[in-house]
Structure 1
Amino acid sequence: MGLKMNKTRVEAFTDAVLAIILTIMILEFKTPESFSILAVVDQIPYLISYAVGYLFIGTAWYNHHYMFAKTKRVTKGVYWANNFWMFTTSFIPVATAWVGRGLNKQGPEIFYFGVYLLWSVSYFILSYMLANANQRDQRPEAAASIRQMAIYRFMRDWRMAAIQLPITIAALYYLPALQMVIVTLQIILVGARSNKDSDRLFD
């Protein structure tokens, strides 16, 4: 039988890493040298990028907590999948800062897309591993709940990727900043859609 570990420690470690990532992101917001409120205008591109990144991580954390609340024990495979997910998430502050300096520039936006794509792959792997771990642990209802999550079903549907990929590539070529709109809509319309029982898990 594979190694099983206390999931509380994994969750605590994950929460600490995500808290550090969010802290790094806000520290990238530079205090204006001038005392004029108009001095903040130069920071608007970063504020937009920061808002998207915060929404991104906040939504991901909620879904992450839901999956782990459903899970009784954590396998070694889940642990390393979680580490891979945190590794990809740790690049978000860099991508956010660069996009904030060039909101409509191809280089930063392509890098952000690469980070987002890698993050999506790692998140799907983590979800897949958690669902399988629950299935092997004789907890089919928990496994089914994870597989029913909107974000899991979206990532598993290759047709959605076939639609989104050319749209994103076109946006990166003609209007790079449009990618942030696409990411935001995906977070709101897919990531923020939780299962009906999610609220009861936080009592």
Structure 2
Amino acid sequence: MNKSRVEAFTDAVLAIILTIMILEFKTPESMKLTAILHQVPYLISYAIGYLFIGVAWYNHHYMFAKTHFVTKKIYWANNLWLFSTSFLPVATAWVGENLRAQGPQIFYAICYAFWAFAYMLLSYLIAQVNAANGHEDVAQSIHSMLIYRFLSHWQTASLHVIATVVVLIFYPAIQLLLVAAEIIFIGARSNSDSDKLF
């Protein structure tokens, strides 16, 4: 399968997701500057969602730049990942209505867990297909990505789940801070060759 077609499709879907997220931002009825303060919770969740997609796109681009193959399994895993990402505008909008509300935060956590599973599956399949076809260097590059190591290491994944459950029970609003910290300190830390691929 032509990987540039899959990349173009992925870029288009992610662009639509980002557009939907900003369209959820409501223009205040009042002309006073203070009226925008009611939108601050959504702006916070939107900023984290935008960062989330931006970092995910960068890592996705890295994996697809490295891979020599896009098989049917990789194609469908990529579609699953896009499907999981498409829930982010709904989760972002609902959390933005009340950062302290437990229900929206639980939904956001479920969407995040679904996304992590889909991303892990996509990464695993790309590494597996390349290793099986004599491109062990590609598999090694993907396995060395910090986000891959974080998601595939059962101890860190377990700690993440425990921390998320505790936060959701006692301090739901902190969950977005945990997500932002993971994005910045894990997802955004890319391999050293990520800016030397082209």
Which residue number corresponds to residue 140 of structure 1? 136
Q: Cα offset for 1:137?
A: 2.3
**Cα separation, 2, equivalents of 1:170 and 1:73:** 41
Provide the C-alpha distance between the structure 2 equivalents of 1:134 and 1:158, rounded to a whole number of angstroms: 24
Q: 1:67 aligns with which of 36, 51, 63?
A: 63
* 1:189 corresponds to: 185
Q: What is the distance in 1 between the residues matched to 2:69 and 2:168? A: 42
1:90 aligns with one of 86, 89, 112: 86
Does 2:150 match 1:163? no
- Is the counterpart of residue 154 in structure 1 residue 150 in structure 2? yes
Summarize deviations over 1:97-141 as a string: whole Å, max 9, x none.
Answer: 000001110000000000000100000000000001111221111
Q: 5+ residue gaps in structure 1?
A: none
- Deviation at residue 15 of structure 1 after TM alignment: 0.3
How far is 1:70 from its partner? 0.1
Which structure 2 segments of 5+ residues have no match? none
- Cα distance in 1 for partners of 2:65, 2:157 equals 28
Q: Tell me the distance in 2 between the aligned counterparts of 1:14 and 1:50.
A: 20
1:78 maps onto 2:67 in alignment:
no
| Structure 2 residue aligned with 1:39 | 35
Aligned length: 198
**How far is 1:73 from its partner?**
2.1
Which residue number in structure 2 is paired with residue 52 of structure 1?
48
Give the match's secondary structure for 2:157: helix
Q: Distance in 2 between matches of 1:133 and 1:171?
A: 38
SS at match of 1:199: coil
For normalisation by structure 2, the TM-score amounts to: 0.98
Output the CA distance in 1 between the equivalents of 2:122 and 2:4.
Answer: 16
> Which residue of 17, 34, 40 corresponds with 2:13?
17
Structure 1 segments (4+ residues) deviating >2 Å: none
Equivalent residue for 1:109, pick from 105, 108, 125:
105
Distance 1:136 1:14 in 2: 25
SS for the counterpart of 2:51 is helix
Shift of residue 161, structure 1, vs aligned partner = 1.8
1:122 corresponds to: 118
- Secondary structure at the residue paired with 2:189? coil
Identity of aligned residues (%): 60
**How far does residue 170 in structure 1 lie from its aligned partner after superposition?**
1.1
